[in-house]
Structure 1
Amino acid sequence: MARHAGDTAAVRRNSFVGGAMADNDDKYWYNLKTRQVERGMQSPAPDRAGPFDTAEEAERAPEIMRERSRQWQEDERREDSWGSGAPDTGIEG
């Protein structure tokens, strides 16, 4: 029996039914290269951010990533200053 290129994708897709892979087909992703929102995992993993529950949330991906990055930097700054004796007021001056 001959197999076609589409058969492999169908087998792969069906093998995850009921698992995390099938759940991600209903999620939205932000394509970092095209800057477009995609439903399901259409693009290679390095090219997308997500998953997001809604298309609107995925559209805000760059903003969300900037905010998370800022928060991580602040957390690291706090951790780096822990035990230095100076109180961390959260105010930069």
Structure 2
Amino acid sequence: MANPEYWYNTKTGEVEKGRQSGWTDLMGPYPTEEEARNALTTAAKRNEAFESEEEAWEDDWED
């Protein structure tokens, strides 16, 4: 049996085991329920890292 996938539903704030809702309301898939529960935090950290990398790239470009 394949491992289940977990999804974070942005509309309800709930974690779904298996995709149960429309794709416009979901983030994932994640391998564990805990990772799905932390989807918004993970996305925020990735956005911060990207913005920092982008700023560094722009600073290098201007030099």
* Fold shared, TM-score > 0.5 on shorter chain: yes
| Larger gyration radius, structure 1 or structure 2 | 1
Aligned-pair distance for 1:71?
Answer: 0.8
Aligned-residue Cα RMSD (Å) equals 1.5
In structure 2, the residue matched to 1:84 is 62
Q: Which structure is richer in relative contact order (CA contacts within 8 A, separation 6 or more)?
A: 2
Task: Give the fraction of aligned pairs with identical amino acids, expressed as a percent.
Answer: 34
Q: Deviations over 1:10-57 (max 9, x none)?
A: xxxxxxxxxxxxx6x821000000000001111111100011100011
The structure where strand makes up a greater share of residues is: 2
- Runs of at least 4 residues off by over 3 Å: none
For structure 1, the 5+ residue unaligned runs are 1-22, 86-93
Q: 1:54 aligns with which of 10, 32, 51?
A: 32
How many equivalent residue pairs? 62
For structure 2, the 5+ residue unaligned runs are none
